[in-house]
């Protein structure tokens, strides 16, 4: 993606496919894996030592913000 930073819009858009897939997989793993399965099924939210729900939520929000920023359509110049 960084190699296509100064090139035309079409080639940069094609270069963002892999980061979008990676961010989507990251959101799926952290949201569904930690916040849904681990938190609710294994009752992680009840543990004082192993409660990673807040950390997982912060990480999911960071991934989502980057994903939203990356997939925005630029206005024509």
Q: Tens digit of pLDDT for each residue in 7-66?
A: 888 888 888 999 999 999 999 999 998 888 888 778 877 878 878 888 889 999 999 999
The pLDDT of residue 29 is 93
The pLDDT, as a whole number, for residue 60 is: 95
Task: Name residue, tokens 């997939």.
Answer: 71
Residue 15 makes CB contacts below 8 A (sequence gap 6+) with 1, 3, 4
Whether 5 has a pLDDT exceeding 90, the answer reads no
Q: Give the integer Cα–Cα distance in Å for 9 and 16.
A: 11
C-alpha torsion 35→38→42→43, nearest 10: -30
Cβ-contact 1, 15 below 8 angstroms: yes
Confidence of residue 76 (pLDDT cuts 50, 70, 90): low
Predicted confidence (pLDDT) at residue 75 exceeds the cutoff of 80: no
Whether 77 has a pLDDT exceeding 60, the answer reads no
Tell me how crowded residue 30 is: count the other CB atoms within 10 A of its CB: 22
């Amino acid at each position: 993606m960084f190699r296509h930073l100064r090139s035309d819009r079409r080639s940069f858009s094609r270069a963002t496919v892999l980061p979008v897939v990676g961010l989507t997989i990251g959101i799926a793993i952290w949201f569904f894996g930690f916040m849904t399965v681990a938190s609710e099924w294994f009752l992680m939210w009840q543990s004082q030592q192993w409660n990673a729900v807040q950390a997982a939520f912060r990480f999911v929000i960071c991934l989502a913000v980057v994903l939203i920023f990356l997939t925005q359509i630029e206005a024509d110049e």
